[in-house]
Chain A
Amino acid sequence: MSRITLEKVCKSYGAHGVLHDIDLDIEDGEFVVFVGPSGCGKSTLLRQIAGLDRPTSGDIRIDGKLVNSVPAADRGLAMVFQSYALYPHMSVRQNLAFGLENARMPRAEIDKRIAEAARMLEIGDYLGRRPGQLSGGQRQRVAIGRAIVRNPTAFLLDEPLSNLDAELRISMRAELSALHDRLKTTMIYVTHDQIEAMTLASRIVVLRKGRVEQVGTPLDLYNRPANRFVAGFIGAPSMNFVKGSVVEVGEAATSVSLMGTTVALPRPAAGAVAGQTVSVGLRPQHISLAGDGEAGVPVEVALVEALGSETVIHSRTATGERLQAVLAGQHALRTGENVRLSFAPDDLHLFDEGGLRLA
């Protein structure tokens, strides 16, 4: 178990800054997911924590102890690599034992730990095989097993599921979650897949261009994104953004004009002023077909994706805005058809022109 603290961590390669002033406090036993688009610095950040790379400035502490200059092996952490990084010329058993042999652990203890990990991960049947003789999922388990036998204070996982097919990824995701529940060890997980982040994390750290955009629980990020980037990144399909302008700011409500109509948000928009141009966010799942007599935004259907349990429609409003909606169930809609879409004002998110959340 360990608590990991990052204070003003920066990393640059020459003049190129990759991480900028990262402050983060990871609690004991947490499952924290670093998520962000490719090149945002999430793997680089994980490597700083692992000790495979040194920060240009700032401090990394594990259980309060400064570890900036502590070698990777002495930080008490274990890492699972994206490519698994299993030694191809060694058997599964040798792969699991390798790190323990380095620590000159007694053979009996090594065998005991391997047996325990093999039982936990159900890899006992292929301890004698080489990684090349295993499927992707089996290799993944071995890579996790190699981390488990070291009995680390925290696991670092660098996109461990990205090489698996979609079906296996879903089952391994559930297994990882169960493993965390069982081990109750701190886990830091890197992914670019926001669904993985949402399903696994106790807290998510959203990164962009080497900066932390928001830290919070999955539902915090979904319900109250701190900025337009987080709002667009978390949730699938992505949030719709339409142009709007503030009509009136009250103590309990904010009126906004958008898509040719005026809507009253039942909450104040701190810092907003009447006439201000804003970006209004609306999740596709929060849009429905307007019923007879119900107010709604008229749109023309551009594309219909019938997925069985839900229907995704891509549409265009009279003012030229694009709206994507996820409608529960099956709907007999056709391309070119005119329909009206409705939404609850409470589900709208307001962002200023700089992308920061107003309400």
Chain B
Amino acid sequence: MSNRHEGKEALPASRLSGLMMVPVKAVMQVVDVPLRAWQRLTGLTGMASFFLLPNMAVFGIFVLVPFVINFVYSMTGGSEIFLAQRFYVGAAQYRDIFDCRSYLDPSSCVEDGFWVSARNTALFVVVQVTLMILVALITALVLNREIIGRSFWRAVFFFPVLLSPVVVGLIWRWILQRQGLLNLVLYDLFGFEPYSWLTDRNAAFAAAVGVTIWARVGFFALILLAGLQAIPKDLYEAAEMDGTRRTRVFFRITLPLLMPNLIVVLVLGLIRSVQVFDEAYVLTGGGPGTSTMYLTQYIYEKGFASDLRDPGLAAAASILMGAVLVVLTLVQMAASRRNEKQGER
């Protein structure tokens, strides 16, 4: 009885799918013969390569070709944009970048702007990534607890991630500028005189660090939260039965078991931090002076914005920055593989 009933319901669906298959079958019949012939000619590997072609074409046009063009640019000189109007200089751009009496003193370098921005970037990366991991970890630990309105707080911390980096920069510039919200609040509450947060070297650096942390911490906290929730509760109960102090539970159980997620956060954080541009550029414009000018801004200005435009130098600098990112990506891949292997054990 029930089978007949199921059959009645299933019939229209099978008819519909049968109708839909008609054009598919027609196309298959048309392409079947040439594809089979091709496979006989090229073998299975050849066919696989053929099916990969569309993706490879997109990758080639939008990634590989621009990369090669960029590399060619880095071997040319002049301020002209079009390659035909530029002249070949070989490795001169790289030589100029590395032409320093002391790498610790950017002013002793021919391209001091590169080294200033590289030093700023290095300092920014160290401080920002360290603080961001710390804040993300604390946020994840708090959000993992049974607090009131946990879902609401999770959304609150993740919300800035959804904002455009330029919007983030603008919001915080309105808050931190001399006539901004922060000074207004400080004046109203405590009578503090307005302070130029974005024109003080240290305050501007702190603002760049703080704003990028605010904008990104939700994403990294989410990765750590997922890691925390994957730690079985039984382990904590076993530790409780073992009379383990809270700090020891954290350092001997939580932290080691969270390590795979922490490595992901560290490497992704490093990559994004090295690429810092939008928020910092909108917030401080690289100032005061060059105190918050980072590598990406240096490349952008050298290539497109500065009066003394030098696309070749910008290309060479971006190739060097790309090399750093490749190293970081390789580190992440190695770390992921190591984690996978440990997970299999």
Q: How far is the CB of A133 from chain B (nearest CB, A)?
A: 6
Closest to A129 in B: B345
Please, how many angstroms separate the alpha-carbon atoms of A132 and B243 in the complex? Answer: 24
| Total number of A residues with any Cβ neighbor in B under 8 Å | 26
- Chain B positions within 8 Å of A72 at CB level: 240-241, 243
Please, how many angstroms separate the alpha-carbon atoms of A102 and B248 in the complex? Answer: 9
| Total number of B residues with any Cβ neighbor in A under 8 Å | 19
Closest to A99 in B: B242
Q: Counting CB contacts under 8 A, is A130 at the interface?
A: yes
Closest to B236 in A: A85
Closest to B243 in A: A73
Chain A 135-156 per-residue mask, 1 if CB under 8 angstroms from chain B, else 0: 0000000000010001000000
- Chain B positions within 8 Å of A85 at CB level: 232, 234-235, 237-238
Q: Which of A50, A87, A133 has the most CB of B within 10 A?
A: A87
B216-260: which residues lie under 8 A (CB-CB) from chain A? 232, 234-235, 237-245, 248, 252-253, 256-257
Which residue of A73, A98, A132 is within 8 Å of B240 (Cβ)? Answer: A73
Closest to A81 in B: B234
Q: How far is the CB of A4 from chain B (nearest CB, A)?
A: 16
Q: Does the CB pair B256–A81 fall under 8 Å?
A: no
Q: Counting CB contacts under 8 A, is A60 at the interface?
A: no
Closest to A88 in B: B257
Q: Does the CB pair B345–A99 fall under 8 Å?
A: no
Q: How far is the CB of A321 from chain B (nearest CB, A)?
A: 28
Q: How far is the CB of B257 from chain A (nearest CB, A)?
A: 6
Q: Which of B234, B235, B241, B243 has the most CB of A within 10 A?
A: B241
Q: Does the CB pair B244–A98 fall under 8 Å?
A: yes
- Given A87-B253, A89-B256, A79 and B238 contact (CB-CB distance below 8 Å): yes
Which residue of B238, B241, B244, B345 is within 8 Å of A130 (Cβ)? Answer: B345
Please, how many angstroms separate the alpha-carbon atoms of A353 and B239 in the complex? Answer: 48
Please, how many angstroms separate the alpha-carbon atoms of A275 and B27 in the complex? Answer: 81
Please, how many angstroms separate the alpha-carbon atoms of A146 and B256 in the complex? Answer: 20
Please, how many angstroms separate the alpha-carbon atoms of A99 and B243 in the complex? Answer: 7
Please, how many angstroms separate the alpha-carbon atoms of A81 and B256 in the complex? Answer: 21
Q: Does the CB pair B243–A103 fall under 8 Å?
A: yes
Q: Does the CB pair B242–A98 fall under 8 Å?
A: yes
- Chain B positions within 8 Å of A99 at CB level: 241-244
Q: Counting CB contacts under 8 A, is A256 at the interface?
A: no
Q: How far is the CB of B246 from chain A (nearest CB, A)?
A: 12
Q: How far is the CB of A288 from chain B (nearest CB, A)?
A: 40
Chain A 233-257 per-residue mask, 1 if CB under 8 angstroms from chain B, else 0: 0000000000000000000000000
Which residue of A81, A98, A102, A133 is within 8 Å of B345 (Cβ)? Answer: A133
Q: Counting CB contacts under 8 A, is A109 at the interface?
A: no
Nearest first, the 8 closest Cβ-Cβ pairs linking A and B are A73-B243, A99-B242, A85-B234, A85-B238, A132-B345, A89-B256, A102-B243, A81-B234
Q: B residues within 8 Å of A by Cβ? A: 232, 234-235, 237-245, 248, 252-253, 256-257, 344-345
Q: A residues within 8 Å of B by Cβ? A: 50, 52, 71-74, 77-79, 81-83, 85-89, 98-99, 102-103, 130, 132-133, 146, 150
